[in-house]
Amino acid sequence: MPNIGAPGYILLIILALLLFGPNKLPELGRAVGRTFREFKNGARDILSEDERAGRKESKDSVVQASQTTSSEVQPQPEDKRLS
């Protein structure tokens, strides 16, 4: 894929000015900025929810493992049939 380069960017800017006019371009820039900001915040929220769920699962597994270990440590009643 070839690089656009400086002449390509200049052509894109001139084309945008012709299509939207100099008064609309700042509004379009703000709208694009808001859109990117909302996307970034949404992605951050999703990632933090995944981290919280992962931490909760790891805590549950630690609690479950400690309960299993504590039941294994408790002395078992002796079997009278072996004596």
Furthest-apart CA atoms within the chain: distance in Å:
100
Query: Does the reported pTM lie above 0.75?
Result: no
> Cα-atom radius of gyration of the chain, to the nearest Å?
31
Distance between CA atoms of 38 and 26, rounded to whole angstroms? 18
Distance between CA atoms of 64 and 3, rounded to whole angstroms? 56
Q: Could you list the pLDDT tens digit for every one of the 83 residues in the chain? A: 578 899 999 999 899 889 988 889 889 889 999 999 999 999 999 988 888 887 777 766 666 666 655 555 555 666 667 65
